[in-house]
Amino acid sequence: MDWQPKGTIDLSFTMDSPANSNAIELTTEILGIPRHKECVEGIISVKIIVTYDTVTYITTKTKISGIDMDTQKISLGTVGVTNFNIKIFLYDTYISVYCNDLCVYAYSLYSANYVNSPSLRLIKTGSYAVNNVCLREIPDAREAIYVDYEATTESAIQSIIQQRPIEINPEINREINFTYDATKDNIQGHNINSYEDIEQDNLQMSSDGIVYYENVGVAINVDTAKQVGFITRMYRLSELSSGAIEAAEKYQKSALQRRHSSSIVLKRIDPRIEVRDVIVVDVIVTGTLRHITDEVIVENVSISLEEGSYSTNISGRKNG
């Protein structure tokens, strides 16, 4: 495994716990050493227990290889509290737990070693529902963000997302969607009038990226090496304290996708198609009988009505 001395995990979920003594435990692949107890290095887990007396209590424990290292208990108020919005945050040697926007737990390890892309297990005890589970791809250790009062909307957004590889797309009702590389629905292409795939050089591509942040690391993209060859590029992500390697890998992935610029024209109007949808192309060309299969991430879509002729025009990049 590829271990590193620093890392971040940001997990949130909703816990509906009307019964007494319900518990949920997050087990990680992170190795930790406690600060005040004699114990060999072991796997870190965080356990949360909800109990009722005359008030509602939430108890949080840090375990290393199944042994309790630290326990904290805090009151949430009356017994009527039944919905718990939980956030478990691990940053380097620090462990924090939030419940309903209240910090209910904090603990500092002596040391911790993070594996790249760790596997996590969330195990619950009791008959209750766990919903809205969200694991953030590139967590942010900042507790506050300050934006200049005179900043424009664009500069304010950039100061918040910093150097993360965020893509900004419009949504209905004048909303804005922020994502790293998530896609929406897969839609089968139909009534395809024309399809064009242009392969072009992209200066942003790299098979081996040198990443400068508070440290120096390397981001590898095997697909770029296979398709294009050995390309080295430097990524300066000095504002990212964690997740810099993951951010560079996402830059590499999107750059390789944009090497293929695709355009599709449908002979019918399809109002279902939105930006970030994936159009699945599976057609046989008339005349040559060439079979074409492809997947295109929609970046722009427009509908044309002209002299009784209807069409949906789509442009995007290759999904893969």
pLDDT digit string (tens) for 6-50?
788 999 999 887 678 889 999 999 999 888 767 778 899 999 998
* pLDDT at site 24: 93
Higher pLDDT pick, 127 / 221:
221
Residue 140 in this model has a pLDDT that exceeds 80: no
Encode pLDDT of 308-319 as tens digits. Answer: 788 899 999 998
* Residue-wise DSSP of 246-268: HHHHHHHHHHHHTTEEEEEEESS
Encode pLDDT of 80-122 as tens digits. Answer: 777 899 999 999 899 999 998 889 999 999 888 888 778 899 9
Give dist(CA 153, CA 230) in Å, integer: 39
Tell me the pLDDT of the chain averaged across its residues: 87
- Average pLDDT rounded to a whole number, residues 276-284: 91
* pLDDT at site 2: 62
Q: How, if at all, do strands 232-236 and 208-212 pair?
A: parallel
Amino acid in the structure at residue 205? M
Structure letter (DSSP) for residue 206: -
pLDDT confidence band for 149 (50 / 70 / 90): confident
Give dist(CA 23, CA 57) in Å, integer: 12
* % of the chain beyond a pLDDT of 90: 42
Residue 298 in this model has a pLDDT that exceeds 80: yes
What is the spatial order of strands in the sheet that 278-284 belongs to? Answer: 186-188, 278-284, 291-306, 309-318, 260-266, 192-199
pLDDT confidence band for 283 (50 / 70 / 90): confident
CATH classification of 3-135 is 2.60.40.2220, yes or no?
A: no
Encode pLDDT of 182-216 as tens digits. Answer: 888 999 988 888 899 998 888 889 999 999 988 88
Encode pLDDT of 220-236 as tens digits. Answer: 999 999 999 999 999 99
